[in-house]
Structure 1
């Protein structure tokens, strides 16, 4: 394994489609940055839940993409290809089909000259799952991986994985992809006081009701914007415009146009903390004024009150919106933008990943 140019195989949900796939932006940012460093990444993703019909991008020039059908015969062939070619083989959580099969097969690919990595893009959900089910087959596989990487979670997640036998656990946090997310001109269809973008998920819905829907009910003179899949059947106040799935190409306008953008953590993410959502960095890249619910560790990424506004509940959101002027929002958004450029781009994350891989490689050799 040569550090100068690594061949990396990545089994994940999807890198070409963000449809019901919040990890797409994360994957793209990391992989693009690795490509710029000279590494080759091959991304293997399944053709499920109409993701290929809702692509955001064509096959990129910064990684090779294999879309496989829902059968294990094809998948086994691709696993053999990855085993033969790759220096590093990564199994991400939440692929969406054959996850248990992939976790086991990738773990079995361990050789003296390769690295086997489990990359957990939803560590709180994974850890909650294995805590509830002591017979979960993944428990026995954790110690077999050279490295566990996580989308977030900080020390609580590191401790939880170490307790379960992980050789090493390192968070690789979300970040800004400066080539994709940036400030654009305001777009009339996204004008409003507060915008929220997120799919309808069971462990987020109550928080959306508290931090977004109730404030909209109580502030009928303001316009609210809701983007994301699954909200069609949700009863919404008249001043909430439901926009459905927002394609990646429209994220910059969605973030740049309204007075403020809301971040709402899922229950599991809020529980473990240290888990800034991908959309936080997307919004900061567009110099948006971000209002977020509180989660432990936020100070690692943004300074509350200066670079981001923290709301402890829905009433806080209402009071913030009542006091927030366009000038104040602009100042906070610009401060967030400067912070992410200085510390939180995917180039920063890829450099950390490269250093971790290098140290692992030295230890193996």
Structure 2
């Protein structure tokens, strides 16, 4: 393996999935890169809330290193950074602007950005809120790797000046997410960190159905939910569920619910890692509606789309067997959306850019 086979990633977190969806996305991708023969150094800014809630402190598929100071970490790895096939900065990296400025000054083979929050990032940039990325920096990247595809890529190019926007959806580790023979504890469940713009969907598609179906059992797992939410008595709450328990959680549901952040729902083409995880486990999915979803999972054949409380109630009380739908969804995800499949997508994008600039 040559230095050019190495990929160096600055990401929000790999070691902890607490309060973020980045960790599971990176884990599946990096395992896939390892299987494809690529070496990865993942550099994570040391943050107390992640260090105190680590669920993967020592991954066996990459080199993980923590840092406190941008200048110090760049000095320590200057040679590796300059020799690596690509250096990738993820969205929401602390002091991302400062880090990107410093990397841009180095003679790197490729500098890329992996935006796991693309519609949210674009909304922030439009409002002048440059929390982890400055608008002036977008044209610098050799590849702008986007969690979202479709028309989002055109907008990145036309409105923000991204030179090479490429869709790089999240993915699933199929070895960790499989059907399991466990009792069904809940009729409908949801897994996700609290977000104000997802809460109306949760109210409509889970909390209100729970009120109307008191004989059924519901569950919401995720951190940072406000204390003043009026949970019905038949809704169980789990504050945090580490990835090692996700598969069993999905398998214990008769249906699972997918809810998308508002900015991602409006633009579409932003599949959540939760969709891929649930489908890989063979759990039938009820989802909110957004452009591009039915191209990924055909409506009625691989997913139930719900706009109203009544849609969810009908799905939960219907006579149809959702097992065939779940099998179709699983087949689709295992064919095109595993970590190894996504790693191949990334390698192909990097190789195309290398060839274009040779």
* Coarse TM-score class (shorter-chain normalised): over 0.9
How far the C-alpha of 1:107 sits from its partner, in A, is: 2.5
- Given that 1:261 and 1:289 are in contact with CA atoms closer than 8 Å, whether structure 2 keeps it comes out as yes
Residue in 1 that maps onto 2:30:
31
Alignment counterpart, residue 233 of structure 2, candidates 213, 235, 238 = 238
- Given that 1:91 and 1:106 are in contact with CA atoms closer than 8 Å, whether structure 2 keeps it comes out as no
Residue in 2 that maps onto 1:223:
217
How far the C-alpha of 1:331 sits from its partner, in A, is: 2.1
How far the C-alpha of 1:134 sits from its partner, in A, is: 8.5
Alignment counterpart, residue 104 of structure 2, candidates 102, 107, 110 = 107
Higher mean Cα deviation, 5-14 or 122-131? 5-14
- Given that 1:19 and 1:54 are in contact with CA atoms closer than 8 Å, whether structure 2 keeps it comes out as yes
How far the C-alpha of 1:84 sits from its partner, in A, is: 3.8
1:241-276 CA-to-partner distances (Å, cap 9, x unmatched) read: 001101111111111111100001111110110111
- Given that 2:219 and 2:236 are in contact with CA atoms closer than 8 Å, whether structure 1 keeps it comes out as yes
Count of matched residue positions in the alignment of Structure 1 and Structure 2:
355
Q: Quick one: structure 1 residues 83 and 170, their matched pair in 2 at CA, closer, same or farther if it must change by over 3 Å?
A: same
Alignment counterpart, residue 113 of structure 2, candidates 118, 128, 139 = 118
Question: Structure 2 length normalisation: TM-score?
Answer: 0.93
Q: State the distance in 1 between where 2:135 and 2:51 align.
A: 32
How far the C-alpha of 1:336 sits from its partner, in A, is: 1.1
1:288-316 CA-to-partner distances (Å, cap 9, x unmatched) read: 00110111001221111011111112221
How far the C-alpha of 1:78 sits from its partner, in A, is: 4.9
How far the C-alpha of 1:157 sits from its partner, in A, is: 1.3
1:132-158 CA-to-partner distances (Å, cap 9, x unmatched) read: 128887111111111100112x22211
1:114-168 CA-to-partner distances (Å, cap 9, x unmatched) read: 011011110011100111128887111111111100112x222111110121111
Q: State the distance in 1 between where 2:169 and 2:70 align.
A: 32
Secondary structure at 1:65's aligned position in 2? strand
Q: State the distance in 1 between where 2:319 and 2:9 align.
A: 43
Q: Give the alignment of 1:156-305 within 5 angstroms.
A: 156-163=151-158, 164-187=160-183, 191-231=185-225, 233=227, 234-305=229-300
Higher mean Cα deviation, 351-360 or 222-231? 351-360
Residue in 2 that maps onto 1:54:
53
Alignment counterpart, residue 127 of structure 2, candidates 132, 135, 142 = 132
Secondary structure at 2:170's aligned position in 1? coil
Q: State the distance in 2 between where 1:107 and 1:5 align.
A: 18
Q: State the distance in 2 between where 1:174 and 1:259 align.
A: 24
- Given that 2:16 and 2:56 are in contact with CA atoms closer than 8 Å, whether structure 1 keeps it comes out as yes
Residue in 1 that maps onto 2:138:
142
Q: State the distance in 1 between where 2:211 and 2:17 align.
A: 30
Q: Greater relative contact order (Cα 8 A, min sep 6): structure 1 or 2?
A: 2
- Given that 1:82 and 1:89 are in contact with CA atoms closer than 8 Å, whether structure 2 keeps it comes out as no
- Given that 2:124 and 2:130 are in contact with CA atoms closer than 8 Å, whether structure 1 keeps it comes out as no
Q: State the distance in 2 between where 1:358 and 1:33 align.
A: 16
How far the C-alpha of 1:76 sits from its partner, in A, is: 4.0
How far the C-alpha of 1:53 sits from its partner, in A, is: 2.3
Higher mean Cα deviation, 334-343 or 277-286? 334-343
What are structure 1's unaligned runs of at least 5 residues? none
Secondary structure at 1:281's aligned position in 2? helix
Question: Structure 1 length normalisation: TM-score?
Answer: 0.91
Q: Quick one: structure 1 residues 138 and 315, their matched pair in 2 at CA, closer, same or farther if it must change by over 3 Å?
A: same
Q: State the distance in 1 between where 2:319 and 2:144 align.
A: 42
Q: State the distance in 2 between where 1:88 and 1:11 align.
A: 11
Q: State the distance in 2 between where 1:321 and 1:49 align.
A: 41
Residue in 1 that maps onto 2:147:
151
Residue in 1 that maps onto 2:315:
320
- Given that 2:36 and 2:340 are in contact with CA atoms closer than 8 Å, whether structure 1 keeps it comes out as no
- Given that 1:195 and 1:262 are in contact with CA atoms closer than 8 Å, whether structure 2 keeps it comes out as yes
